[in-house]
Amino acid sequence: MALTDTAYPTDVSLLTDLYELTMAQGLWESGKLAEEDCFTAFYRDNPFGGVFAVMCGTSDLPDLVENLRFTEQDIDYLASLEAPAGGALFKPAFLEYLRTFRAHLDIDAVPEGELVFPREPMVRVMGPALECQLIETALLNAINFQTLVATKTARVVQAAQGRPVAEFGLRRAQGPDGGMAVARASYVAGCASTSNVLAGRRYGIPVFGTHAHSWVMSFDSELEAFRAFARSMPNNCTLLIDTYDVREGVENAITVAHEMEARGERLAAIRIDSGDLAKLSAYVRGRFDEEGLDYVKISVSNDLDEYTIQSLLNQGAPIDSFGVGTKLATCYDQPALGGVYKLAARREDGERDWTPVVKLSEQPYKRTIPGIQQVRRYVDESGSPVCDMIYDETYLEGEGADRGNTLVAVNDAALVTSVAGMDYRELLVPVVRDGRAVAPRESLEVARARCSTALDALDPVYKRFLYPQSYVVGMETGLARVRDELVRTRMAETETALPWKARR
């Protein structure tokens, strides 16, 4: 039974970048406490050269909002900070405001385990501008790494083709918090177990582990070590056979397996942690089968990732399970998702309607999508047991139903796709209203099942590791027009203010 499902600390008021607090003071001092903002969190590029990401970390968001409080210790620390030019960084009156601060945010998010794609909102935050700023860093910290790990895990699990994958990465993870987040996110995305005992207790994840090379080296002979472990753990007996020589190790494992049979027990498996895993696993499988021990499973480890696992199975290696550590826990080939949090709309005090806003940037690729956004996922329900995912469309909530039947690529208005008459479902769902969770926290099993279903619904052309086909993601035509108008208006204003830019 899990004690709690959160992968996040509850003391989050100062778990932020300093500029969030300096901006908060500026908003407070400028009389903007009643101004409302809408922010969206999204990523721009798919991780690991793939086509999708697996959403993870959103279940922590209600706790972040509900625990966004400033204690006396927090206030005292902020009061002690000095500005670079001298004097206190924060004004006493602002710190008094923080003493009684409570967030009133509304948050909608893609549920954990669902697939997400570039530039569409993963999380939407609406509420007082000051509060939207204060939650930014903690929110991105909660979803960026867990989404990255879940995505890496989904690829590893896909490569394993139904064989169990155990997460072994705690000792190589980036600190205790990283190790806990890895265990949680990897289980959502399909890992069967973790070596992390604290994660097992906290999240209810199955734990797995047997012995290391040091166990074997602690005895005068490998056979003696195997016998001792079999006596100690007859119902959890996986023998690590590569401490000295795999061929000698398998013979000692065979001896112990027969001895266990005589006692009414069974050797569960052996593990190989070095060498040519394809060649060695084939040799070991042959020896066990010759001895009538076809029930003994073969597990392998040793810096595995999705590419190595795929290669091993393509070679026909008779491997039954995998232990994956470093390259999963550290997201070895891409250490960051790059998720961002951008202002999409504003509403002044007393105004009824929201004003969409856009960020231009010197790089057109970084132009944002404006407005109060929602996401539709178009699906094929033509008899398939799982509704296949076809396209994703970002649209202006409340205005997207009748605005058009095509979606427009974010970075190329000439690329349009018809979605007329197609079935769809909405992705962003309420998570927080007025600073409070709107529903009980989902269990990890629910998120895990959702991830499995989502991956099954994604066509294999999008899941292959080499040259995957691009999944179509775009804007509804009405939203595309709003964005284009904002961009043109802002560029014209810039050219008026800076005439030299128009002459370049």
For the domain that residue 269 is a member of, what is the CATH number?
A: 3.20.20.70
Task: For residue 272, give its domain range.
Answer: 151-329
Question: Which helix (H) or strand (E) segment is 254 a member of?
Answer: helix 246-262
Q: Which helix (H) or strand (E) holds 109?
A: strand 106-109
Does 217 reside within a domain? yes
Strand partners of residue 166: 193, 323
Examine residue 54 and state whether it is found in any structural domain, yes or no.
Answer: no
Task: Decide if 220 is inside a domain.
Answer: yes
Q: Which two tokens stand for residue 463?
A: 């899941």
pTM over 0.85: yes
Q: Kindly give the confidence (pLDDT) of every residue in the chain, 504 residues in length, as a single tens digit, with 9 standing for 90 and above.
A: 445 565 555 578 999 999 999 999 999 999 999 999 999 999 999 999 999 999 999 999 999 999 999 999 999 999 999 999 999 999 999 999 999 999 999 999 999 999 999 999 999 999 999 999 999 999 999 999 999 999 999 999 999 999 999 999 999 999 999 999 999 999 999 999 999 999 999 999 999 999 999 999 999 999 999 999 999 999 999 999 999 999 999 999 999 999 999 999 999 999 999 999 999 999 999 999 999 999 999 999 999 999 999 999 999 999 999 999 999 999 999 999 999 999 999 998 878 899 999 998 777 778 899 999 999 999 987 656 667 889 999 999 976 555 568 899 887 888 899 998 899 999 999 999 999 999 899 999 999 999 999 999 999 999 999 999 999 999 999 999 999 999 888 888 776 766 655 555
Contact 190, 154 (CB under 8 A): yes
Q: Is residue 129 part of a domain?
A: no
The answer to the question of residue 197 being in a domain is yes
Give the Å distances, CA to CA, from 489 to 170, 275, 427, 464, 481: 51, 62, 31, 42, 12
Whether 221 is in a domain gets the answer yes
Assigned domain for 317 exists: yes
Total domains in the chain come to: 1
- Residue 48 in any domain: the answer is no
